[in-house]
Amino acid sequence: MKFLKRFSLFEAALVAVILAIHLYAALADAYNFPNVWFKRDDAYYYFKVAQNISEGYGSTFDGINLTNGYHPLWMIVCVPIFALARFDVILPLRVLLMAAAGFHAASAILIYRLVKENLSQAVAIMAASFWAFNFYIHATVYQYGLETPVAALAVLYLIYKLSMFEKEWRTKPVATRHLVEIALAAALAMFGRLDLVFLAAIAGVWVIFRGRVIRYLLPLDMLIIFASMTSSVAFRTGIDSYNTLYASSAVEAVMLALVAKLTALYFFGAYQHPRANTIWKNFRQTFLALTTSLVVITAMYLLLAQFGAGRNFPRSAFLLDWGLSLLLIFALRLAATWFSRDKAPAQESPFSEFKANWKKWLTEGFTYYGVFGGLLALYMLFNKIMFGTSSPISGQIKRWWGSMANTVYERPASNWYSFFGISTRDFIAWNPATDLFSWLAKMLLPIIRRTDMDDERYYISMLVFILAGLVLAFANKRRAIHIGSKLAFIPLLAGSGIHILSYSATSYGGVKEWYWVSQMILITLAGSFYLDLILRPLLRIKFTRPALQAAALVAGALLAYNLNGFITTTMRHDYYNPGRPHMEVLQYLEANTPPGSIIGMTGGGNVGYFLHDRTIINMDGLINSYEYFQALQNGTAPAYLREHGMTIIFANPQLLALPPYFNQFAPYLERYNNYGGKGLFYLLEEPKY
* CA distance linking residue 385 with residue 16, whole number of Å: 45
* CA distance linking residue 599 with residue 593, whole number of Å: 9
Q: Are 566 and 135 in contact (CB under 8 A)?
A: yes
Averaged pLDDT, 559-575: 95
* CA distance linking residue 340 with residue 671, whole number of Å: 71
User: Is it the case that residue 312 has pLDDT exceeding 90?
Assistant: no
pLDDT score of 447: 78
Global confidence as pTM: 0.94
Q: What does DSSP say about strands 648-651 and 678-683: parallel, antiparallel, or unpaired? A: antiparallel
pLDDT score of 301: 84
* CA distance linking residue 329 with residue 225, whole number of Å: 9
User: Is it the case that residue 405 has pLDDT exceeding 90?
Assistant: no
* CA distance linking residue 582 with residue 33, whole number of Å: 8
The Cα diameter of the chain in Å comes to 85
DSSP string over 121-181 = HHHHHHHHHHHHH-HHHIIIIIIS-SSHHHHHHHHHHHHHHHHHHHHHTTTSPPPHHHHHH
What stretches of 329-392 adopt beta strand conformation (E)? none
User: Is it the case that residue 654 has pLDDT exceeding 70?
Assistant: yes
* CA distance linking residue 637 with residue 643, whole number of Å: 10
pLDDT tens for 450-488 read 766 778 888 899 998 899 998 999 889 889 999 999 999
DSSP string over 404-470 = -TT-SS-----SHHHHTTB-SSS-BTTTTHHHHHHHHHHHTTTTS--TT-HHHHHHHHHHHHHHHHH
- Our CA angle for 177, 183, 189, nearest 5°, is 140
Mean confidence (pLDDT) of the chain: 92
DSSP string over 514-552 = GG-HHHHHHHHHHHHHHHHHHHHHHHTSTTHHHHHHHHH
* CA distance linking residue 303 with residue 321, whole number of Å: 19
pLDDT score of 278: 86
Q: Are 225 and 202 in contact (CB under 8 A)?
A: no
CA-CA-CA-CA torsion for 284, 289, 292, 296, nearest 10 degrees? -170
